[in-house]
Structure formats: structure tokens, C-alpha cells
Structure 1
Amino acid sequence: MPQQATPTRTARLGRSAGSPPSTVGGVVLLLPPGAEVSARRPAPVTSTAVRALARALSQAGRAEGLVAHPVHYRVRGWNGAQAQLAQDAAWATDEVVRRYGDVPVCLAGVGMGGRAALRAGGHPAVASVLALAPWLPEDDMAAPPEPVKQLTGRQVLIVHGTNDERSDPELSFRLAARAKKANHTVCRFEVHSDRHGLRQYRSEVVALSVDFTLGSLFDHDFSRPVQDALAAPPPLGLRMPLASGFTGAGRR
């Protein structure tokens, strides 16, 4: 009996959050957490941070024609030099261009998805990158550092809890510092005492993410804290504290 070939898994875009607009003006691709090494099929997109952010972005950006799609990876793992999650993020951006044409894209990732967003940020359609508690590799003298040149010309926001037990916040600070040397539109906020899931200040993190995304995709004014973080030289603009009660720029 002939042996059947194992079906090849493919990445795909999940259903957009909320009702799709009649005219699409911009797209956010939501990249969920993953694993450092794994060939297993990804779990359903159940990350609370991804769900909350998708709903908030869809509602806040409705008038601008914003669409928010979760990305379903082929496999769960980054898997070393294969960088499979970043490959899937790049594929998803190509798919956005195929579906919607020349619209600005924000890559928004959580955990390992944050690393994928940063790595795939050089795609020509990407206008901005949002990385929440990004997982980044430890510094290794024998390996090249995590690249940052692809972020030139993009607006970049990194958000990290100071008590993150899974993704070292100091590593995201170092990456932001290297990226800032080549690209002045990089900022980073620290969420005091929060951990990897950014649950303690969930509403503030979502408000900051919405403020940044709408500002970067649709050329709105950022809230004053984001403006200050982008304008401040390192390390001030890369260790900006996220204030309790932050609600963004007050857009409707």
C-alpha cells in the first residue's frame, strides 16, 4: 500500500475582530506567543492579551477602517535559525497586501510573537511594530545579535513588565537601545512590578497599544507620554514608566 505524504501545515490569517469595515484603511496582524523550540501544532489563539487587544483595536479603529487579524502559525516554535514564527509573520503581511492592497500594517506581537514582529518588521508594507513582553535570546558572543536594521523607518513600541519572569526585560532594553541608534522612532515603556502576562495593568497596556497603533497607522497625534518617549534620548525614552490609569489620547 503506498504511503501517504504528511500534509504540509500552512500559516493562515484568523477571522478579523469585530465587523469588517466596508473600506480597509489599515491592518494589525496579531502575533500570539510561541515557544523557543517546538514542532507541535500551535494551540488556538487563546492569549488573553491578544484577544483583548484585537477587540480594543477593532473598536477604536472602526472609523479609520482598521482590520485586526490574528495570525495562526504553522508550528509553535521559533526553532533556531529557521525563525519560523518570523517567516509566518512575513507571509501574513504578504497576504494582507494580496487581500487589501497598499495599506499600512502594524505587526503586534506578544512574547515570542513580539520577537517575530520585530524580526519581520522590515517588510515593505510594515509601518509600525508593537512588541509586548517580547521574548529575546540571551546575549551570546558566538552568535550574531538579534538584528535591528530592518526596523529603520518604522515606528516601534516595546512594552515590558519590570518583574517579567519569562522574558528578561533587560534584553528588550538592550535591543531598543541598539535600534534607537539607527532609528529615532523607537520607544519603550516599563510597566512597574508587572509580570510576563502584563495582567496587573492590562487596561493601561491596551490603551497604550491602541494609542500607538492608531497614531502610527493613521498619522494621528500620539498621547503626550508616547510623544515624550519618542523624543527623549536613551535611556529616558526607553525606560518610560507606564502611568497607572493611562487612557491614551482620548480619541473617539
Structure 2
Amino acid sequence: MRQQATPVRTAGLGKAVGTEPTAVSGAVLLLPGGEEVSARRPSPVPAAPFVRSLGRRFARAGRGEGLAVHAVHYRYRGWNGSEAHLAQDASWAADEVVRRYGDVPVCLVGVDMGGRAALRAGGHEAVNSVVALAPWLPEEDVAASPEPVKQLAGRRVLVVHGTNDTRTDPELSFRLAARAKKANREVCRFEVHSDGHGLRQHRDEVLCLTVDFVMGALFGRPVSRPVEDALAAPPPIGLRMPLAAGFGRSLRRRL
């Protein structure tokens, strides 16, 4: 009996969130969470509510700027060790943006394991900024190579983590941000006090912060004073910046 070849899996871009602009001048790639190890296909169910909320907020804020927003569809659910499948798919997606839209700046916005993918793929030449929300990062082992940060040089980087996160360790994201900050001043990190992994308690503040940061990175819009202060402050101050309750109230009309 003839053996059937295993079909090759390919990553993909979801349909543009909102109305795709006729002239694209920047792109946001949304990277959902995943698992540490899994060869299974990602669920066909649309991305998590948090990712969908981000997509809608970006599409609304970037309507006048020519912003294209797409979620990335992974080949596998898992990171899968040295294969780093989710990071590979994020890099593929950045290539696809260049193929479709030309030489436009790209921001990678990842949640959970997608946050790790965004940070790892941040060295792509089209990427000018990275956002990692509650990123899943491996325990640092002095005997092993630490999670790389050199690829983030020249990019503007935002990390956001809830202090009560019991799924992904906020201390690990602080350590990574501290290493990245040594080589790149354009790194900041916000702590969402009393919030957990899903960042549900202060969801609106996190959405406002993320969109404010990204619109500044992609299109040169003025960012809020807390983001300015966090980027300018030396560590650890700019890497343990508290996200104030009610952040973004004055920004919501334009976001």
C-alpha cells in the first residue's frame, strides 16, 4: 500500500482586523499564546478575547494612519524547544507583511507564549517595536544559554506583567528586560499590581497603554508621560513602572 505523505503545515495571517487600508504605512502582528511543547494544530477557534480586543483597539486607533492589523496563525500549538516554532512563524509573518505591503514598519504584539515569540523574532529587519504582555519565559539556568536579547537592539520594547501572575513568572520578564536595557535604552516594563495572568482586572488600562506605545513606535505619535518616563528612567525604575488605575482616560478619544 502506498504511504501517504504527511502534509506540510504552513503559518498564515488572519484576515485584516477592521477595514484594511488602501495604503498601508505600518502593521501590527498579533501573536496569541501557545504551549511549551505540542505538535498539535492550534485550535480553529479565533484568538483569545484579549487578542481580539487588542486587534479592534489597534484598528480603530490606526484607521487614519494606514495601519494593517493581523493575527498570526501558527503551524503548531507548541514552542517545541530549539525548534522555536512560534518565533519562526512570527518571523514568517513579518516577511509576509513586507511581501504584501512593502517596506513598512512592523510591531509584534504577543501574549503569553506569543510574548516570547515576539521578543525572539524582534530582530527581523522589518520590526521596529515589540510588545510582550505577560510573556511566558523559561527559567534561567546559569549552565544554559539565557533567552537572547541582542536581537532587540534598535527596537522599542514594552513588557507588561501582572504582579500576581501565577502562570508566567513576572520576575523572569523583569530579568530579561534588565538585560535588554543594558544594550538598548528603548526598553520599558510596566507592572500591573494585583493583576493576574489574564490582566483582566485592569484590562482597559493595559489596552490603552499598549496602543499608546505602539502608535508612538510605528508612526511617531507623542506617547503618554508614563511611557516617556519609563523609557527614560534607569533600571530598575523604568522596568518596574506601576500602571496606574485609570491610565488612558485622557487618551481614549483618540485610541
Normalising TM by the smaller chain, what interval?
over 0.9
The amino acid across from 1:232 in the alignment is: A
CA distance in 1, matches of 2:250, 2:224: 4
Alignment correspondent of 1:102: 103
Deviations 1:141-171 (A, max 9, x none): 2210000000000000000000001100000
Q: Secondary structure at the match of 1:120?
A: helix
Secondary structure at the counterpart of residue 110 of structure 2: strand
Name the counterpart of 1:73: 74
Q: Does 1:40 align with 2:67?
A: no
Match of 2:228 in 1: 227
Task: Quote the Cα distance in structure 2 between the aligned partners of 1:131 and 1:249.
Answer: 24
Gaps of 5+ in 1: none
Q: In structure 1, what is the equivalent of residue 137 of structure 2?
A: 136
Query: 1:158 maps to which residue?
Result: 159
* 8 Å Cα contact 1:56/1:206 also seen in 2: yes
2 CA distance for matches of 1:123 and 1:105? 9
* CA–CA distance in structure 2, aligned partners of residues 249 and 3 of structure 1: 62
Describe the SS at the equivalent of 2:52: helix
TM-score, with length taken from structure 2: 0.97
- Tell me by how many angstroms 1:248 deviates: 6.6
The correspondence of residues 16-95 of structure 1 with structure 2, limited to 5 A, is 16-43=16-43, 44-95=45-96
| Change beyond 3 A, Cα 1:248–1:3 | farther
Q: Secondary structure at the match of 1:27?
A: strand
Aligned to 1:115: 116
Structure 2: unaligned runs, 5 residues or longer: none
Residue 3 of structure 1 is matched in structure 2 by 3
One-letter identity of the residue aligned with 1:125: A
1:202 to 2:203 alignment = yes
- Structure 1 CA distance, aligned partners of 2:119 and 2:16? 22
- Corresponding residue SS for 1:68: strand
> RMSD value over aligned CA atoms?
1.0
Q: String of CA shifts for 1:168-227, please: whole Å, max 9, x gaps.
A: 000000000000000000000000010000011000000000000100000111100000
Between the aligned partners of 2:180 and 2:3, the Cα distance in structure 1 is 49
Quote the offset at 1:249 in angstroms.
6.4
What secondary structure, in the 3-state scheme, does the structure 1 residue paired with 2:78 have?
coil
**Counterpart Cα distance in 2 of 1:23 and 1:228:** 33
CA distance in 1, matches of 2:10, 2:174: 33
CA distance in 1, matches of 2:243, 2:52: 21
What one-letter code is carried by the residue in structure 2 that aligns with 1:213?
Answer: V
Q: Which residue of 2 aligns with 1:124?
A: 125
1:245 aligns with 2:215: no
The code of the aligned residue for 2:38 comes to: S
Q: Percent identity, aligned pairs only?
A: 71
Name the structure 2 match of 1:168: 169
Would you identify which runs of 4 or more consecutive aligned residues in structure 1 move more than 3 Å?
none
Match of 1:217 in 2: 218
Cα pair 1:223 1:248 within 8 Å, conserved: no
Residues 249 and 122 from structure 1, CA distance in 2 versus in 1: closer, same or farther, beyond 3 angstroms? farther
Q: How many residues align?
A: 252
Q: Secondary structure at the match of 1:69?
A: strand
Residue 236 of structure 1 deviates from its aligned partner by 0.4
Aligned to 2:175, the other structure's residue is in SS state helix
The 3 A distance-change label for structure 1 pair 17 and 114 is same
Closer/same/farther in 2, CA of residues 98 and 249 from structure 1, 3 Å limit: farther
